[in-house]
Every structure is written in C-alpha cells, then in structure tokens.
C-alpha cells in the first residue's frame, strides 16, 4: 500500500491512498469510549465526506463499531462451570475434581457442541509452531520505516552453534524461549501469520513457552498441548473479565504481563502443578509486570515489544519452575488480587503510557512517521 499508493476495498474496488496524507494519527485526540480508536471517512472526488464510521480496538483482536460498543456480540449461552474470578474457578475445580483444562473443555463444548475442539486447539498450536519456525529463519528488515533488523534468525544460529560447543556448566540454552518469542514478534511486526494470544503485540510468549515445552519435555503429548492452551485461555479470561488485555487501556502489563501470566500458569499445569502452584505462577508473572507502560516507538510494534516478548517468555518458564518448588499455599497475593491491582494501576496510568507513543521510549526515540 505504501509503495503503490493504492488501497483495495474488499477486493471490489481500488482507490488512491497515500499513507502520509490519508492516514492521520491524532495523537492528542482521544475518543470517548476507548483510547484505541480509528475513524474511517470516505470522501467523494470533491472532498466532501460521504460516510464516516468509528471503530474501537478493545484488545485481544476484538474490533467494535461505535454503535455496538458495550453490547455483547453473542447471545449468552449456558455453560456448566461459570466463573468470573480465580477463586470461583479454583473452587469449581476442587468441587468437581476437575483440572482447569477439563473445566474449560466442558464449557467450550457447551458453547459449541458441534466443534471439533481438540482438532481446533491442535491447529492453533501448529500455527504457533509454524510462526516460531518461520520467524527463526526469516531474515531482513521489518517494515514501517524504523529500519529494525530481524534478529531472531542470527540468534537462532548462534544458539544452535553454542549448543554443540558449550560445556554443561556454561550454556545459553535458557535463551531458546527468548529467541522463539522474538521470532514470533518479528513475524507479527512483518505482517506474518500469528495467533493473537492474548494480543498481537504479546503474541510471542505463548508460542515460545509452548515450543519450549514441546522441545525440552520428553513426555509432551497432544493432550498436554491441548491442556496448555485451555489453561492459558482460562487465565486470559480472568484478565479479560476483571481488568483488560489492551495496552491502550492499561499499558503493557495488560499485554505482555497477561501473556506471561497465562504462559506461566499453563506451563505449571502441564508440568503437573497443583491448583495452588498454577495460581502462584500466574500471579507472580503478573506481579512483576505491574505498572509496565506501553510505549511503542513510532507506533510500531517493534521497539520495545519484540525484546519484551522474549524476556517475558523466559520469565514465564522460570516462574513456573519456581512455583513448582513450593506448595503455593498461604501466599499473600492471590491471582484475583493481582488482577485487581493491575486494573487499578492501569486506570491510574497517564495516557502517555498507554499506546499513544507519546511517552517512555517512544518519546526518547521520537522519529517521524514514515512518509509515502
């Protein structure tokens, strides 16, 4: 689009479109319903507006038209194990002797009985695996004008070399999840195919931790991969229902922080952790992202997002192992409490630090938007 100055409208018609003059970032304007908003206006040849529509990106890949904001997009359906808090989730698991994954499975089946849930989840896992693989081998520069070089392929080669040559006392294998996550984040930044989990900006963490699990655990089975995704999904729901998974609403704690929490809890579950240990891993992963701002340089999901995904993936794995060393009982901070705190912290955060690219690193490294 930048090169051709053409915009295809649903493949039906092509119009002239210049990014510099037709795509305007109103960084000081905030629309009332959500900070992440986009107004589309169609003009006729005389420059008079024909139609205008506002859309909000509310996180997790959800896009809502202004007229539909706040309305449920689906009819409420009965599910066997309804929960809105971590405490209720864990109580239901205890009461019915279910794992989190089993409970989620039952709920998903009730929502869509005709769906082949196992096949769908394994398909998602394979898309995640493919984007790790692709990102580890795709060289070049990321689009957008920041001239960010893709680093994952060279890092991948470095790690492979060192794996062969290093002694067991000095090795870099702990960096694998970091490189996997960077690979996926680079794919995202390049417009490649990724899984929004929970958001595109934080899409590297779940695939990286899952790839780590598939590669370094001998006994990985399709069922464990399914359990990993269902457990991660349950944790994501808790954040979605009680806080936010949108950087524009609560800063990066709502994206990278949530992904880290999902991954830490899910990995703990598939490594045999108890409910208390799963809660503890998910809680710690958010606790140490509280207050993390969203400040993408030039509005591109590259700096600091790509490295940030890498660091969070490694952190999720460490916290899962840490949680498994303790029984997780009598912890002072519950998962519900940290979610509540994340929401309160995000609400207190200045809008400069919530995806506006006006504060933090985006301000320090301010560059002009690329022209067409």
Q: Is 181 in the site for ligand SF4 (CB under 6 A)?
A: no
Provide the minimum distance between the beta carbon of 128 and ligand SF4 in the complex, in angstroms, as a whole number.
Answer: 17
Q: Quick one: which segment of 42-50, 113-121, 124-132, 301-309 binds ligand SF4 (CB under 6 A)?
A: 301-309
Helices (H), 300-354: 305-325, 335-348
Q: Is 202 in the site for ligand SF4 (CB under 6 A)?
A: yes
Cis peptide before 304 (omega within 30 of 0): yes
Q: Which is nearer to ligand SF4, 142 or 301 (CB)?
A: 301
Please state, in angstroms and as integers, the Cα–Cα distance from residue 203 to each residue in 25, 191, 197, 306, following that order.
24, 12, 5, 10
Helices (H), the chain: 19-22, 86-96, 100-111, 117-135, 152-165, 176-189, 205-216, 222-242, 247-250, 256-270, 275-287, 305-325, 335-348, 360-364
Q: Quick one: which segment of 42-50, 112-120, 276-284, 294-302 binds ligand SF4 (CB under 6 A)?
A: 294-302
Q: Which is nearer to ligand SF4, 255 or 314 (CB)?
A: 255
Provide the minimum distance between the beta carbon of 195 and ligand SF4 in the complex, in angstroms, as a whole number.
Answer: 15
Q: Is 148 in the site for ligand SF4 (CB under 6 A)?
A: no
Q: From the list 104, 125, 197, 294, which residue makes contact with ligand SF4 (rule: CB under 6 A)?
A: 294
Provide the minimum distance between the beta carbon of 201 and ligand SF4 in the complex, in angstroms, as a whole number.
Answer: 3
Provide the minimum distance between the beta carbon of 263 and ligand SF4 in the complex, in angstroms, as a whole number.
Answer: 14
Q: Quick one: which segment of 26-34, 159-167, 217-225, 292-300 binds ligand SF4 (CB under 6 A)?
A: 292-300
Q: Quick one: which segment of 35-43, 100-108, 229-237, 298-306 binds ligand SF4 (CB under 6 A)?
A: 298-306
Site size toward ligand SF4 (CB under 6 A) is 14
What b/e string do you get for 66-91 counting C-beta neighbours within 10 Å, with b at 16 or more?
A: eeeeeeeeeeeeeeebebebbeebbe
Q: Is 201 in the site for ligand SF4 (CB under 6 A)?
A: yes
If 0-12 CB within 10 Å is exposed, 13-18 middle and 19+ buried, where does residue 16 land? exposed
Long-range CB contacts (within 8 A, 24+) of 120-127: 121/225, 121/226, 121/229, 121/230, 122/222, 122/225, 122/226, 124/195, 124/229, 125/210, 125/225, 125/226, 125/228, 125/229, 127/193, 127/194, 127/195
Q: Which residues pair with 62 in a beta bridge?
A: 59
Provide the minimum distance between the beta carbon of 305 and ligand SF4 in the complex, in angstroms, as a whole number.
Answer: 3
Q: Quick one: which segment of 2-10, 82-90, 147-155, 304-312 binds ligand SF4 (CB under 6 A)?
A: 304-312
Provide the minimum distance between the beta carbon of 109 and ligand SF4 in the complex, in angstroms, as a whole number.
Answer: 32
Dist. CA 80–CA 84, nearest whole Å? 13
Q: Which is nearer to ligand SF4, 268 or 357 (CB)?
A: 357
Provide the minimum distance between the beta carbon of 60 and ligand SF4 in the complex, in angstroms, as a whole number.
Answer: 12
The residues in 212-271 that bind ligand SF4, with binding defined as CB under 6 A, are 247, 252, 255-256
Dist. CA 217–CA 226, nearest whole Å? 15
Q: From the list 35, 212, 355, 356, which residue makes contact with ligand SF4 (rule: CB under 6 A)?
A: 355
Q: Is 301 in the site for ligand SF4 (CB under 6 A)?
A: yes
CB-based contacts of 127, cutoff 8 Å, min separation 6: 193, 194, 195
Residues that bind ligand SF4 (CB under 6 A): 201-202, 247, 252, 255-256, 294-296, 301, 304-305, 308, 355
């Amino acid at each position: 689009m930048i090169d051709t100055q053409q915009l295809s409208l649903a493949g039906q018609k092509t119009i002239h479109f210049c990014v510099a003059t037709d795509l305007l970032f109103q960084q000081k304007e905030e629309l009332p319903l959500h900070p992440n908003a986009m107004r589309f206006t169609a003009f006729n040849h005389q420059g008079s507006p024909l139609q205008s529509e506002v859309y909000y990106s509310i996180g997790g890949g959800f896009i809502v038209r202004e007229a539909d904001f706040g309305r449920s997009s689906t009819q409420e359906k009965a599910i066997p194990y309804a929960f809105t808090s971590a405490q209720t989730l864990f109580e239901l698991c205890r009461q019915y002797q279910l794992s989190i994954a089993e409970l989620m499975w039952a709920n998903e089946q009730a929502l869509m009985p005709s769906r082949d849930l196992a096949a769908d989840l394994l398909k998602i896992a394979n898309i995640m695996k493919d984007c790790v693989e692709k990102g580890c081998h795709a060289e070049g520069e990321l689009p957008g004008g920041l001239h960010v070089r893709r680093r994952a392929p060279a890092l991948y080669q470095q790690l492979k070399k060192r794996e062969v040559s290093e002694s067991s006392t000095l090795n870099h294998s702990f960096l694998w999840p970091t490189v996997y996550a960077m690979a996926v984040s680079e794919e995202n930044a390049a417009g490649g195919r990724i899984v929004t989990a929970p958001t595109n900006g934080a899409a590297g963490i779940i695939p990286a931790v899952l790839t780590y699990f598939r590669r370094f655990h001998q006994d990985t089975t399709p069922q464990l991969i399914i359990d990993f995704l269902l457990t991660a999904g349950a944790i994501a729901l808790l954040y979605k229902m009680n806080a936010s998974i949108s950087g524009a609403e609560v800063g990066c704690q709502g994206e990278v922080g949530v992904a880290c929490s999902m991954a830490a809890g899910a990995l703990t579950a598939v490594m045999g952790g108890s409910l208390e240990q799963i809660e503890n891993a998910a809680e710690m992963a958010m606790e140490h992202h509280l207050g993390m701002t969203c400040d993408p340089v030039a509005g591109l999901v590259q700096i600091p997002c790509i490295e940030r995904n890498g660091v969070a993936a490694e952190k999720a794995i460490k916290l899962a192992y840490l949680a498994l060393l303790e029984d997780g009982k009598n912890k002072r901070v519950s998962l519900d409490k940290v979610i509540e705190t994340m929401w309160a912290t995000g609400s207190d955060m200045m809008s400069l630090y919530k995806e506006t690219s006006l504060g933090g690193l985006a301000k320090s490294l301010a560059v002009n938007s690329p022209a067409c």
